[in-house]
Amino acid sequence: MDRDLSEEDSVESLSFEAESPLAPPTELLERLPSYEWLLHGGGQQIFFPPSEALVRPPEPTSWSSFLEHRVPVVTEEVAREALLSFVNSKCCYGSAAADDLIIRELRRQTLCRYRLETFSESRISEWTFQPFTNHSVDGPQRGTSPRLWDIKVQVPPMFQEDTKKFQVPHSSLVKECHRCHGRGRYKCSGCHGSGTVRCLTCSGAKHKARQPRRCPMCSGSGRRRCSTCSGRGSKTCATCKGQRRLVHFLQLVVTWRNSLFEFVSDRQIHCPQELLGKAKGENLFRDENSAVYPIVDFPLREISLASQRGIAEHSASLASRARILQQRQTIELIPLTEVHYWYQGKTYVYYIYGTDHQVYVVDYPERYCCGCTIL
Ligand SMILES: [Zn+2]
Ligand SMILES: [Zn+2]
Ligand SMILES: [Zn+2]
C-alpha cells in the first residue's frame, strides 16, 4: 500500500467525509458583512441610476414617402418562377406540377411590420470565492466598495448580448475553507479513510466461489486499493484545492440583453403566423436612440398604437431591473401573396412572402417521401 503519510493531517485526524455543497453554509454568509447598501442608498432604492431626462422632442415625421412606397407586385410569372425554384430546391417535390399548373387567382397584400428592440443592462452582485493562494487581498481596509452602478464597465457594441463578471473592489475576505474546515484534505468517501475496499471479484472471500485457488484480483487478501483516492484514504479538498483557506468576494454580474416587441398589421389573407416574423421586408422607417418616442401619426393607426404599446411594455418590464441603453424601432413592408392554382382538376394553394419571394407550400400535388425532413 503506497499511502502517503507525509501529509500533515493524517487520515485519522480527518474525522468527517466532507460531501457538503460547494456553496458556503448560510451561517458563514450571515457572518460576512452585509452589502445591502450597495443596492440601497439612504432608504431610497437606487437599484439603478435614473436615466438622463429625455430632452429630445418628438420629431415630426413625414409619412408622405410611405404612401409613395411601392413593393414590386408579384405577377403570375414571378409566382410560377418562385414555386419552381422552391420545388427544385427540395428533393421530395416533382417539378411537373409547378410547370403545368394553372394559376387561377393571386391575392396580394402588403403588410406592415413594426419592431422595437430594447438593449438593456442589468447588474446584480453575488458572493463567490476561490482558493486563497497568498496573493494580496483587496479587503475593506483598502476603502469602501463602490456602489454597483458606480463601477465602470466596458459596454459591448449596442444590441450585442453578453454577460460579464467583475470583482467588486475592496470586498474580499479570507476565511477558513468551510468544506474541509481548513485541513486542505478530507476523508475519502469511497473507502472511509482506510485506503482499501472490499474486493468485488471474490466479494472479500479471498478465493472465488467453488475455487480453492486464491482470488487473483486481490491476491487472496480480500481487499483492493481504493480507486477513488488511489489508496491514500483522503482526497485533496476540491473547494480550496488544498489551500485550506478561501478568499470570498463580491462579484458584479452585468447582463446585456435585447428585448424584442413585434407587431404585424392586420391581414386579410389567412396565412401562417410564423411566415411573417421571419419574412424579409423593405425598410420604411428606422429610428435609433438611447430612448425612442412612440410613433403617433403613422397612416396605419394600428402601427402607431403598436409603437406606443411596445415602448410602454418594454419600459414597464425593464424599469425595476435594468437600465435601457439603446432602443431601435423599425417599420417594414412585407409583401404577401396567396396563390390559388389548378392542377389535374384540383385546387391548391401556396404563399409567396417577403421581398425575396420565399415560398410556403400548404399542399403540393407531386410530393414524394425520400426520408428527408419536409419543411
Ligand atoms: Zn478511498
Ligand atoms: Zn478478491
Ligand atoms: Zn478545503
Q: Convert the pLDDT of each residue in 276-320 to its tens digit.
A: 888 999 988 899 999 999 998 888 899 999 999 999 999 999 988
- In the chain, alpha helices (H): 26-31, 36-39, 64-68, 76-88, 96-100, 273-278, 301-318
Q: Which of 41-55, 163-177, 194-208, 318-332 has the lowest mean pLDDT?
A: 41-55
Nearest ligand by distance to the CA of 177: 3
Mean pLDDT along residues 366-370: 70
| 328 neighbors 286 (Cβ within 8 angstroms) | yes
- Whole-number pLDDT of residue 9: 42
CA 206 to ligand 2 center in whole angstroms: 5
Tell me, in angstroms, the distance from the centre of ligand 1 to residue 192's CA.
Answer: 6
Report how far ligand 1's centroid is from the alpha carbon of 187 (Å): 8
343: which strand partners?
A: 346
* Spacing, Cα 284 to ligand 3 middle (Å): 62
Query: Regarding predicted confidence, which is higher, 65 or 272?
Result: 272
CA of 225 from ligand 2 middle (Å) equals 11
State yes or no: pLDDT of 47 exceeds 90: no
Residues of the chain with pLDDT > 90, as a percent, come to 54
Q: Which helix (H) or strand (E) holds 273?
A: helix 273-278
| pLDDT confidence band for 12 (50 / 70 / 90) | very low
Distance 215 CA to ligand 2 centre (A): 5
CB 215 within 8 A of CB 199: yes
Least confident of 76-85, 109-118, 213-222, 361-370: 361-370
More confident residue, 75 or 31: 75
Cα(214) to centroid(ligand 2), Å? 8
Q: Which ligand does the CA of 132 lie closest to?
A: 3
Mean pLDDT within 71-75? 81
Cα 298 to middle of ligand 1, angstroms? 74
How close is the Cα of 211 to the center of ligand 2, in Å?
12
Model pLDDT, residue 211: 67
Q: How many angstroms is it from 337 CA to the middle of ligand 1?
A: 71
Which ligand sits nearest to residue 202's alpha carbon?
Answer: 2
- Give the Å distance between the CA of 243 and the centre of ligand 1: 20
pLDDT of residue 8: 43
- Ligand 3 centre to CA of 248 (Å) is 13
Within 13 Å and on the Cβ side, how many CA atoms surround 270? 3
Lookup: cell for 261:
416587441
Please tell me the number of the ligand nearest to residue 226's CA. Answer: 1
Taking the centre of ligand 1 as the mean of its atom positions, its distance from the CA of residue 219, in whole angstroms, is 19
Per-residue pLDDT at 305: 95
Confidence class of residue 11 from pLDDT cuts 50, 70 and 90?
A: very low
Tell me the average pLDDT of the chain: 82
pLDDT computed for residue 65 by the predictor: 61
Contacts of 328 (CB under 8 A, 6+ apart): 115, 116, 117, 119, 159, 286, 287, 288, 292
pTM for this structure? 0.69
From ligand 3's centre to the CA of 246, what distance in Å? 8
Using DSSP's 3-state secondary structure scheme, residue 148 falls into helix
Q: Which ligand is nearest to the CA of 201?
A: 2
- 93-115: average pLDDT: 87
Interval between CA 13 and ligand 2 midpoint (Å) = 29
Q: Is the pLDDT of residue 210 over 90?
A: no
The closest ligand to the CA of 180 turns out to be 3
Q: Which ligand is in closest contact with the Cα of 235?
A: 1
Tell me the backbone φ, ψ of residue 11, rounded to 5 degrees.
-55, -35
Q: How far is the centre of ligand 1, averaged over its atoms, from the C-alpha of 191 (Å)?
A: 4
Q: Give distance in angstroms: CA of 1 to centre of ligand 1.
A: 12
CA of 244 to the centre of ligand 2 (A): 37
Please compute the mean of the pLDDT values over residues 32-53 and round it to a whole number: 43
3 state SS for 283-334: EEEEEEECCCCCCCCCCCHHHHHHHHHHHHHHHHHHCCCCEEEEEEEEEEEE
